[in-house]
Chain A
Amino acid sequence: MFKEFKKGVFAENPVLILLLGLCPTLAISVNVVNAIGMGVAATFVLVCSNALVSAVGRFIPAKIRIPCYIVIIATFVTVVEMVMGAYTPKLNEALGIFIPLIVVNCIILGRAEAFASRNGIVASILDGLGMGLGFSAALTTIALIREALGSGTFLGIRITGYFSPEGIISPASVMIMAPGAFVVIALIIGVLNWRRERRLRKPV
């Protein structure tokens, strides 16, 4: 059982290994707070939709299953939208259209189709939790790098500028703009590839 949970975080990380859900990852990773908010929202939808799809999956005719999954996912996304609009309006505004866009996040539809429709409820919930956590972890890592280099802060607290008014490294605002996002994710995937290759080469 624990295996289902673990694989989403490491071996089958949805963002860095399977390359799913790239749009929110790159758009939201401007700072750590947004990244965590997005991660929690997506994980909630993922767990709930996985559970429901696994519970009612066998009553859905195979031909119309994809539209049915989309409606299930869209329902939970609407729940998230309403809750965030009511309790965390600031975060809701910062995430903007990327909250409703969780509907078309390929991770969620992908897990519903590839895992939840064929497995039991408990396994599906664990799979959803693991995948959600993997998504959040990747998102937060990218956000950490971009926030530190781009605005010189961590969770909104300044981390540069201790030695001189401008700091030793002044923040490069390009990192919080589009090119920074592409470069950071490219290098992270590159490092993972490099490590995997080294591990494969070792036994020889």
Chain B
Amino acid sequence: MSYILLFISIVLINNFVLAKFLGLCPFIGVSKRRHEALGMGYAVIFVMAMASAATWVAYHFLLAPTDANLFFRFWGQGKAPADFDFTYLQTIVFILVIATLVQLVEMFLMKMVPPLYKSLGIYLPLITTNCAVLGVALLNIKDFNSLLPTESFLKTVLQGFGGGVGFLLVLFLMSGIRERLERAAIPPALKGVPIAFICAALLALAFMGFVGLTH
């Protein structure tokens, strides 16, 4: 049950774009056409879920001062796990893991699934600097670090996946609105980005209505 609640909350209530302000650059940049928005959204779901899993593994086996830390396992005779606390390297390690992962995914898709690469390929390089991906990795550690390993891993992957789904949902809604806006009479000063932000404000207001779902 708590997993379903977590999913609903991350997609609708704590939506990454509208409530947490993560991933705004692609939200404004790639929301002009619906098919572009879908391509970007799928790529983000994929990368966010995988990055969540990969950063969890890196954090628990390399950085965190626990029994599972590999440095402690191999070189820890006569020392406490706390001597192997590398959590201060979190930011650097996470961004490197994400950058490598995106590169790997790109190469894998190019070689093994060319049609998918054709539709997602151009969006993948942009995703490394999408703050939603690094953001979800950091939030996972903050939110679930105190849980037992299995539960924390499952929730981490679910938060990554759900975050991506929420991103896709909002991006798709926004692209639909912006396609209509092109033919609307808007004051010239507000054309383009400003009116997109105003629509985002209305969307955010509407999404605030979902808060009641969890009560």
Q: Please give the residue numbers on chain A whose beta carbons come within 8 Å of chain B beta carbons, in ascending order.
A: 19-20, 22-24, 26-27, 67, 70-71, 74-75, 77-78, 81-82, 97, 100-101, 103-106, 109, 174, 177-183, 185-187, 189-191, 193-194, 197
A194 touches B134 (CB 8 A): no
Interface residues of B, CB < 8 Å — how many?
A: 45
Return 30 A-B CB contacts under 8 Å, by A number.
Answer: A19-B28, A19-B193, A22-B21, A22-B25, A23-B22, A27-B20, A67-B96, A67-B99, A74-B92, A78-B89, A78-B91, A81-B91, A100-B90, A101-B22, A109-B129, A174-B205, A179-B208, A182-B198, A183-B197, A183-B201, A185-B197, A186-B190, A186-B194, A186-B195, A187-B194, A191-B189, A193-B188, A193-B190, A193-B194, A194-B189
Which residues of A are found within 8 Å of B187, using beta-carbon distances?
190
In the complex, A26→B198 CA distance in Å?
13
Provide the bound-state CA to CA distance between A198 and B201, in Å: 27
Is B23 interfacial (CB-CB < 8 Å)? yes
Q: Which of B187-214 contact A (CB under 8 A)?
A: 187-191, 193-198, 200-202, 204-205, 208
- Contact partner of B135 among A70, A81, A101, A179, CB < 8 A? A101
Interface residues of B in 170-197 (CB under 8 A from A): 187-191, 193-197
Contacts A182-B200, A197-B188 supplied; 18 other A-B pairs, CB < 8 Å: A23-B21, A23-B22, A77-B91, A78-B88, A78-B89, A97-B138, A97-B139, A104-B129, A104-B134, A178-B18, A179-B204, A179-B205, A179-B208, A180-B201, A186-B193, A186-B197, A189-B197, A193-B188
Interface of A, secondary structure class, is: helix
- The chain B residue with its CB closest to the CB of A194 is B189
Cβ-defined contact, A23 with B25, below 8 A:
yes
For residue B24, CB closer than 8 A to chain A, the reply is yes
Could you tell me the dominant secondary structure of chain B's interface residues? helix
Instruction: Decide if A82 touches B88 in the complex (CB within 8 Å).
Output: yes
Interface set, chain B 109-147, CB cutoff 8 A to A: 128-131, 133-135, 138-139, 142
Q: Is the CB of B22 within 8 A of A179?
A: no
Q: Kindly report which residue of chain B lies nearest to residue A99, judged by CB atoms.
A: B91
Q: Are A179 and B202 in contact (CB under 8 A)?
A: yes
B95 touches A103 (CB 8 A): yes
Closest to B29 in A: A19
